[in-house]
A and B are shown apart, each in its own frame.
Chain A
Amino acid sequence: MITKPGPQPPSHPLRLVVDLNRCQSYGQCVYAAPTVFRFHAEESLEYDYAPEGGVRREVERAAAACPVQAITLGGATEPAPGAHGDHR
C-alpha cells in the first residue's frame, strides 16, 4: 500500500488543468490544440486533462498562447499512487 517514488519514467504522460476563474474565453488554446480544448456553448471552455496521441507540442503552444496564463501543464510522473500499491 505504501509506494515510494522510483526513478521517473522516460516519457511523462502529459496532464493539464485550466484555471477557469482566470480564463477569459479568448479561444487561443482552441485554435492551437483543437482536439484538447473546445468551447461548449458560446463561452464555456472544456478540455481533456489527460490527452493522448502525441499532442504535447500543440498543448504547449496552447499554454504559451493563452493571454492570461490560465493553462498549467504538468505530468503524471510521480508514482501515483494506487490503492493497492500499484505504481503508475
Chain B
Amino acid sequence: MTAPGAAGPRTGRIVVVGASLAGLRAAEALRDEGFTGELTMIGDEPHAPYDRPPLSKAVLSGRLDCDHIELPRVRDIDARWLLGTPATGLDVPGHRVALADGRSMAYDRLLIATGTRARTWPARAGGGLDGVHVLRTREDAERLRGALLNGPSRVLVIGAGFTGGEVASSCAESGLAVTVTQRGAAPLAGALGGTVGRAAADWYHAAGVDLRLNTTVRALEGDPSGRLRRAVLSDGTVLDTEVAVVATGALANTEWLSGSGLAADHRGVVTDDRCRAMTTDGNPAEDIFATGDIARRPHPLHPGRLLRLNHWDGAVAQARTAAHHIVHGPGAQHLRQPLPAFWSQQFGHYLKSIGVPALADQVAITQGSLHQRRFVAAYGLEGRLIGAVAVDSPRVLDGYAALIEARAPFPPALGATDGPAHPDIIDAAFPGRDTGGTRDHPGHTPSAIAPAPNR
C-alpha cells in the first residue's frame, strides 16, 4: 500500500522502535546485511538493551545485580539512540513516527520491536495497592527484590505460567513462604498441556510451595494506608500476604500504532513470513516490519496459523529474518525459518522446548517418565510430530528437531535406550482447546486466534 522510500535498499533511513533484544539484534543484522544508511534506535526504557530472562531467576534470587545483565553488542551499529523516548504514533502515508517529546522521526523503512508488557491487576480488585507487583523490566525486578528483602510473611504469585513458576521458585529458594494460584488444573498447562503440567506441579510441591489449582484471586485487600494485606481466593479462602506478583500473561505494546491502519491489537502486530507488517486490508506494508515478542507470524510448518512466540529465541532468530528482508527488499530470497525454541529454569529444573508444543493434541513420554527428574515429552498434532520438551535432558533435542523438520509421524520412532519401545499416547490436555486452538482466518485478519504460550 505504501511505495518504498526513494532511497535504495542499502541506504536511506531506518528507524527501529523498541530498543531491547529484538531491536538490537535486528540493528546489528541490518549492518551485517550491508545497510549503510542512517539508523535510529528509539526506546522508552532509559537503559542500554539488557536481557530479561535473568530478572525472574538470578536477579530475583539476589545472585546477579541488574547492572550485570546488559546485552553484548556483537558489532558496531553506528546508530543514533533515542532512549527514554516513547513513540506515540505512526503516520504510515507520511512515513513518520511521533515521539512523546513532541518531535517526529521520518523513516524510509520502519522496524516495530516494542514487545509486550505484563498484564496488570485491575484497580477495582486491589491493583493499586502497595505490594502488588508485575515483572517485565529492571525496575520491576529491583522493586520486587526490595519487597522480598523486607521478609514478607507470604508471597502470593498469581498465575503458574513460566514467569509465575520462576518467581515462585526464586522466592522459595530465598526461604519465603509462597502461595501460587492457577486458574487451570496444572501449572504451565497453556504452553505445555496439563499432562506435562502435572509433573511441574510436583516441582512446586517438592519446593514447599502452596499451589492452589483451579483457583483464582477474587480481590486483593489492603490496610487503610494502602498496603496489601490479604487476598481473597475464589474458594473463599482469605490469605494473609504483603507481596503479590501478578503473572497472568502479557499484552502487546501496540497502543502507539492505533489508527495507523496496521493489523495490530493487544495480541500483537500481524506480519507475513518476511516480517512485513500487515495492514487491516490484508496486504503487507512494503516498508514496515515487525519482529520479536510483538510479532504474530506464520510458520511454514503450521500453515494457516499465526504464532506469537514470546520467547528469547524468537526475538533473536526473527531479527535476522527481518533485517534480511528490510535490506534486500521484496525480491529477497527466503531464509530458512528455524524451529521455535525456548527454555525455562525453575525449581532446580532446566526445561528446553523445540517446535510448538502448544499446538499439539497428543503427547507421549519418549524418554524417562513423568515421575522422574529427567524426561522428554514428544508432542503430536494429527499424527505428526510438532514439538518436544526436555526436562533436565539438555542434550537430546537436536534429534527431535530433525524429526520435526522432517514432519515425522507421531509418536516418533527414536529407539532411545532410556525410553519405552512403544510410548503411550496421552491427551496433551490443553485447557480450553475448544476455544483456544482454532485455525486462523485466511488473510491474517487481526481477529484470528493465535495459540501463544504466554510467559
Which residues of B are found within 8 Å of A73, using beta-carbon distances? Answer: 72, 74
Cα distance, A25 to B396, chains bound together (Å)? 12
**Mask: chain A, 19-40; 1 = CB below 8 Å from B; 0 = not:** 1110111000000000000001
Central interface residue in A21, A24, A41, A82, by most chain B CB within 10 Å: A21
Cα distance, A3 to B80, chains bound together (Å)? 6
Which residues of A are found within 8 Å of B434, using beta-carbon distances? Answer: none
Which residues of B are found within 8 Å of A50, using beta-carbon distances? Answer: 67-70
Which residues of B are found within 8 Å of A84, using beta-carbon distances? Answer: 46, 84
Which residues of A are found within 8 Å of B341, using beta-carbon distances? Answer: 21
Q: Is the CB of A79 within 8 A of B81?
A: yes
Cα distance, A9 to B384, chains bound together (Å)? 54
Which residues of A are found within 8 Å of B76, using beta-carbon distances? Answer: 5, 8, 77-78
Q: Given A3-B80, A49-B71, A81-B41, 17 other A-B contacts at CB below 8 A?
A: A1-B83, A1-B84, A1-B101, A5-B79, A20-B345, A20-B352, A21-B343, A43-B392, A43-B394, A74-B71, A75-B73, A76-B73, A78-B79, A81-B81, A81-B83, A83-B46, A88-B48
Which residues of B are found within 8 Å of A80, using beta-carbon distances? Answer: 48, 73, 81
Cα distance, A77 to B71, chains bound together (Å)? 11
Q: Is the CB of B73 within 8 A of A74?
A: yes
Tally of chain B residues near chain A (CB < 8 A): 47
**Would A76 and B80 be within 8 Å (CB), given that A15-B70, A17-B72, A24-B394 are in contact?**
no
Which residues of B are found within 8 Å of A15, using beta-carbon distances? Answer: 70-73
Q: Which A residues lie at the B interface, using CB under 8 A?
A: 1-5, 8, 15-17, 19-21, 23-25, 40-44, 46, 48-51, 72-84, 88
CB distance from B155 to the nearest CB of A (A): 20
Residue B78 lies at the interface, judged by CB distance under 8 Å to chain A: yes
Stretch at the interface among B2-10, B56-64, B320-328: B56-64
Which residues of B are found within 8 Å of A19, using beta-carbon distances? Answer: 313, 316
Cα distance, A22 to B365, chains bound together (Å)? 22
Q: Is the CB of A78 within 8 A of B73?
A: yes
Chain A interface helix/strand/loop/mixed = loop
Cα distance, A21 to B395, chains bound together (Å)? 10
Q: Which 5 A-B pairs have the closest CB atoms?
A: A74-B72, A83-B84, A83-B46, A41-B348, A15-B72
**Mask: chain B, 80-105; 1 = CB below 8 Å from A; 0 = not:** 11111100000000000000010000
Cα distance, A44 to B76, chains bound together (Å)? 31
Q: Is the CB of A48 within 8 A of B312?
A: no
Residue B425 lies at the interface, judged by CB distance under 8 Å to chain A: no
Q: Is the CB of A81 within 8 A of B48?
A: yes
Residue B433 lies at the interface, judged by CB distance under 8 Å to chain A: no
Which residues of A are found within 8 Å of B83, using beta-carbon distances? Answer: 1, 81-83
CB distance from B47 to the nearest CB of A (A): 8
Q: Is the CB of B78 within 8 A of A5?
A: yes
Which residues of B are found within 8 Å of A74, using beta-carbon distances? Answer: 71-75
Which residues of B are found within 8 Å of A5, using beta-carbon distances? Answer: 76, 78-79
Q: Which of B320-362 contact A (CB under 8 A)?
A: 341-343, 345, 348-350, 352
Residue B232 lies at the interface, judged by CB distance under 8 Å to chain A: no
**Would A41 and B41 be within 8 Å (CB), given that A17-B51, A46-B63, A78-B77 are in contact?**
no
Question: Which residue from chain A places its CB closest to the CB of B169 in the assembled complex?
Answer: A41
CB distance from B79 to the nearest CB of A (A): 7
Mind listing 28 A-B residue pairs with CB under 8 Å? Answer: A2-B80, A3-B80, A3-B81, A5-B78, A19-B313, A40-B58, A40-B63, A40-B345, A40-B348, A41-B348, A42-B392, A43-B392, A44-B350, A46-B57, A49-B51, A49-B54, A49-B71, A50-B70, A72-B74, A75-B72, A75-B73, A76-B73, A77-B76, A78-B78, A81-B19, A81-B81, A82-B48, A83-B83
Q: Is the CB of A25 within 8 A of B350?
A: yes
Q: Is the CB of B350 within 8 A of A49?
A: no
Central interface residue in A3, A4, A76, A81, by most chain B CB within 10 Å: A81
Cα distance, A40 to B64, chains bound together (Å)? 12
Q: Is the CB of B350 within 8 A of A41?
A: yes
Question: Which residue from chain B places its CB closest to the CB of A43 in the assembled complex?
Answer: B350
CB distance from B309 to the nearest CB of A (A): 12
Question: Which residue from chain B places its CB closest to the CB of A25 in the assembled complex?
Answer: B394
Q: Is the CB of B73 within 8 A of A42?
A: no
Residue B53 lies at the interface, judged by CB distance under 8 Å to chain A: yes
Q: Is the CB of B73 within 8 A of A77?
A: yes
Central interface residue in B67, B70, B341, by most chain A CB within 10 Å: B70
CB distance from A48 to the nearest CB of B (A): 5
Cα distance, A19 to B74, chains bound together (Å)? 14
Which residues of B are found within 8 Å of A78, using beta-carbon distances? Answer: 73, 76-79
